[in-house]
Amino acid sequence: MAKKKKKSSPETGPAAEADVHASLSNKCMIRPDSIKGSDDSGKFYSNYDELCDAQRVHKDRWYEANRQWWVAGGYGGETDEEAMIGDTLGAEDGVEGLAFLDKMMAQNDSGKQVARAVDAGAGVGRITKLVLLKRYDSVRLVEADPHWSTRSRVYLGRKRSARCTFTCARLEDLSEDDVAGWDGPVDLIWLQWTLQYLTDADAIKTLQTLARGLVLGTGRLVVKENRPYGKARSDRFQMETPACSGRYDITRTDAQHRLMFHRAGLKVNMSEEGVETNTYAV
Cβ atoms of residues 125 and 156 within 8 Å: yes
pLDDT value at residue 8: 38
For the segment 228-238, the average pLDDT, to the nearest whole number, is 93
**Exposure of 201 by Cβ count < 10 A (0-12 exposed, 13-18 middle, 19+ buried)?**
middle
pLDDT tens for each residue of 210-225: 999 999 999 999 999 9
pLDDT tens for each residue of 106-131: 987 755 566 999 999 999 999 999 99
**Sign of the CA dihedral running 230, 235, 197, 100:** positive
Query: Which of 19-23, 47-51, 229-233, 259-263 shows the lowest per-residue confidence on average (mean pLDDT)?
Result: 19-23
**Exposure of 77 by Cβ count < 10 A (0-12 exposed, 13-18 middle, 19+ buried)?**
middle
- Which is more confidently placed, 2 or 112? 112
Which residues are bridge partners to 272 per DSSP? 10, 279
Cβ atoms of residues 1 and 251 within 8 Å: yes
Which residues are bridge partners to 225 per DSSP? 278
For the segment 200-218, the average pLDDT, to the nearest whole number, is 96
For the segment 37-57, the average pLDDT, to the nearest whole number, is 98
Instruction: Round to whole Å and give the CA distance between 10 and 123.
Output: 27
Q: Which of 249, 262, 239 is nearest to 70 (CA)?
A: 249
* DSSP code, position 9: E
pLDDT tens for each residue of 14-24: 333 334 333 33
Instruction: Round to whole Å and give the CA distance between 37 and 15.
Output: 26
pTM attached to this predicted model: 0.88
pLDDT value at residue 29: 86
Give, in degrees to the nearest 5, the angle at Cα 141 between 107 and 79.
105
- Which is more confidently placed, 111 or 145? 145
pLDDT value at residue 20: 37
Instruction: Round to whole Å and give the CA distance between 181 and 146.
Output: 20
